[in-house]
Structure 1
Amino acid sequence: MDLEVKPADQNHLQFAWQLYSNFVQTNLFSGGASLRRPEEWNEKAEFDKFQAYWNGEDRYVILVDNSPIGWVAIDKTDKKITIENWHLVPEWRGKDVTKIILSDLVPKWKSQGLEIEAAILQNATMTSIAEAALTHVGFSMDRIEQHSKIMRVR
């Protein structure tokens, strides 16, 4: 198995959108407490917002044997890396892909003197899985911001 993280481009937009829109509809437009109702979902408006986000810097595709299995978006400044989004296709979830990739990247980022944070949506279907994966590679709970748990490498 050849696992790689490469810069994403417009060719990956539809793939990333599929993962992202599924996650957002499931976790934010399901009608629960403090969530939006399913009928509020506007496919075109949400896609337009996502496309503008996708065109930003530091968007990456996760590949296994040259086939996309996920994507990640980070925000990088001179002093800090923030993992904003991390999405995997269902068949690759729970297979330690996140742990493998971050076990390589976190030490590199730390050696560059960067602070490292990750935002995890609270009360989502994957919250506890994401927390466990991040804890495994050295993250711990730092604070709550709006609807997200912010974890940080100490």
Structure 2
Amino acid sequence: MGVREVPLLGDQHTALPTISLMSVWEYVGIPMIFLYTALIAVPHDMVEAARIDGARSWSLFWRIKFPLIAPQFALIVILTYIWTFNGFDIVYALNGSAPGPNYSTDILGTLFYRTFFGSSGQVADLDLGATIASVIFLIILITTAAYVVVLQRRIRTYQL
């Protein structure tokens, strides 16, 4: 009995999850470096004082370390959210401008590319392409601004 080969990019049910896992692997390095540098910047005096007071490792992280690295964590969340909209490169590298099996790997970036530049026999539509790019920009702008406003309110409540 041989090994069954699964066409991960050729099946509409597995194509987008496969590309998503590849994207996670591609973009995991920078957030890990940010978190690592934030964690090593936590003052050792605070950690040692919490340990002397009897804090266990889990409460030490959530009550001492995480509040101190929260600004870096917020930055990582914002950057990761913006980078997800730049997922065009990996989809294009794996599928070209074609939207994958039954449009299963079509994201806003590839839709913009196919519409604005035209591909696979599709005529370029500059107006619709510019509209798609504007919608992508507005989605990123509104959600990032809302996240920052909510984050600023939380920070103000902690400071009072």
Bigger radius of gyration, 1 or 2?
2
Higher relative contact order (CA 8 A, sep 6+): 2
TM-score above 0.5, yes or no: no
TM-score interval (norm. to shorter): under 0.3
Scaled by the length of structure 1, what TM-score is found? Answer: 0.25
| TM-score in terms of structure 2 length | 0.24
